[in-house]
Amino acid sequence: MSRSDEPEPFPAHVPTRARWTLAALLLAAFAGLLALRANHWGGLDQTALFYVGLPAVIALIVVFTVRARSATGIAMAVTTVGLALAAALLGEGTVCLVIAAPLLYGIAALVAWTAEAFRAGGRGGRHALLGVPVLFVLALEGVAGTSLLPRADQGEGSVLIDAEPERVAAALAAPPGYAVPDALFLRAVPFPHPVRAAGEGLEPGDARVVDFTPRRTLRIGSEPTPRDMELEVAESEWDGDGGRVVFDVVRDTAFANWMDMRRAEAVWEREGGGTRLTWTVEYERTYEPSWYFGPIQSYTTDLAAEYLATTFRDAVAGAGE
């Protein structure tokens, strides 16, 4: 291709066909996201069809309709605008949108590059097509209940407490005070954080209600919505050397849009001159693709379990002062 045949970037002041195409694309994306949010069709906003398919479609449309020096650059720009639109529409799903941003940009760039290679022709274009069926399969994960990795998972965190097992059991039987998490990831991503708890006891049937930071939306005039989690002791046993208590999640309005919380287990046992406290949080992943959200949710739940362990460690220390 000679230099004179190269597509020229369109001037910023001229409403070219390419600009109208981009405007129509963004308008269609906004309408589609609005319909998806309003109807929650089959939970598609929690599947790989949304997080892989949407940026792939945007990238393909840009590559084959917009004339510019870098279709990949245009695709990234349009994806950025699409993310901004989606954030306003997805409400609580914004958390997953923030976490999924690297995936969305990566898919958009990969598909745009593949499509450009195919359009250029030659051996590189034929080789680029080999990734199309793989991408197609990955994009369908979550549709009709499919998942490459098991949805059931758990997070675990433990801490050594400088106290006797009896003091640890007493702290677990009472509602703790919650501080801001130490983990940077939990503070940087807008997850709901616990602020207070009510309820006490370790006998089966004893309940806890944990209040979390309220839900806020971008809708003008909207009021913060309270969210909480109710737990009930399902199993418990302890003696002078340690014990175990299992809390079933009875109601959850804090994390229901990201994962299905099932139960939490606390195990404490004498170790050296102190007590080892271990929390395990069991859940089911509700977002796809599993190869992306699975490790992230597992890591996040590990941090949450560690946060629980340190919270009760601090409660023991506070009770001893």
Torsion angle, alpha carbons of 166, 168, 172, 174, to 10 = 70
Contact 258, 190 (CB under 8 A): no
Provide the residue ranges of all domains of the chain, joining segments of one domain with +.
3-145, 152-319
The pLDDT value recorded for residue 1 is 44
| CATH class given for the domain over 152-319 | alpha beta
- Alpha carbon of 312 to those of 33, 76, 151, 232: distances in Å? 42, 45, 29, 18
Q: Give residue 236's pLDDT.
A: 96
pLDDT at 11: 45
pLDDT computed for residue 287 by the predictor: 81
Query: Is the pTM of the predicted complex or chain greater than 0.75?
Result: no
Q: What's the pLDDT score for residue 146?
A: 72
Give the chain's length: 321
Contact criterion met (CB below 8 Å) for 302 and 157: yes
Instruction: Report pLDDT for 290.
Output: 86
pLDDT score, position 9: 47
β-sheet bridge partners, residue 303: none
Of 97, 92, 98, 31, residue with least CA distance to 222: 92
Q: Determine the pLDDT at residue 103.
A: 82
Tens digit of pLDDT per residue, the chain (321 long)? 444 444 444 444 444 565 566 566 666 665 665 565 545 444 544 554 555 555 556 655 655 555 556 667 777 777 776 666 665 555 555 666 778 788 878 887 877 777 777 777 666 666 666 667 777 766 767 665 677 788 999 999 999 999 999 999 999 999 999 999 999 898 888 788 999 999 999 999 999 999 999 876 655 455 778 999 999 999 999 998 999 999 999 999 999 878 899 999 999 999 999 999 999 999 999 888 888 889 999 999 999 999 999 999 999 998 755
In the chain, the amino acid numbered 315 is: A
